[in-house]
């Protein structure tokens, strides 16, 4: 679900992928025109702003919630659109509702970068 088209370049030992106005840090992959993919269950969502040193933060609005049984799908609309899957207990604890400001984050190690064919 999270397939973002961007441009990748190496900086300071990390690969960065520019997607629109947003820059993401990832562990590795090809440079140039790429697709950045992140599995929805690897994205954390919170109503609280992460610490300043947290990598790969997208601030946006909760645009949609979808019940997926033991998981809840949370769509975040910001500079890029991200879809997260949260375990139901974590979702209940978050208190997220449509229209809320939320912060989606993911670790550089869980992102995959693929060349554009």
User: Would you say residue 54 has pLDDT above 90?
Assistant: no
Cα-based angle 62, 111, 52 (whole degrees, multiple of 5):
60
Distance between CA atoms of 73 and 108, rounded to whole angstroms?
A: 21
Q: What share of the chain is helix, strand, coil (3-state, %, to 5)?
A: 10, 55, 30
Query: Which range is least confidently modeled, 10-14, 67-71, 91-95?
Result: 10-14
Average pLDDT, the chain: 95
pTM: predicted TM-score of the whole model, two decimal places: 0.92
pLDDT bucket at 87, cuts 50 / 70 / 90: very high
């Amino acid at each position: 679900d999270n397939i973002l088209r961007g441009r990748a370049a190496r900086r300071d030992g990390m690969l960065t992928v520019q997607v629109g106005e947003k820059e993401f840090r990832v562990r590795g992959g090809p440079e140039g025109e790429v697709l950045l993919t992140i599995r929805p269950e690897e994205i954390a969502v919170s109503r609280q702003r992460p610490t300043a040193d947290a990598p790969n933060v997208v601030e946006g609005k909760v645009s949609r919630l979808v019940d997926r049984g033991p998981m809840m799908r949370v769509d975040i609309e910001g500079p890029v659109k991200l879809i997260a899957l949260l375990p139901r207990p974590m979702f209940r604890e978050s208190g997220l509702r449509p229209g809320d400001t939320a912060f989606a984050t993911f670790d550089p190690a869980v992102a995959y970068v693929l060349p554009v064919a």
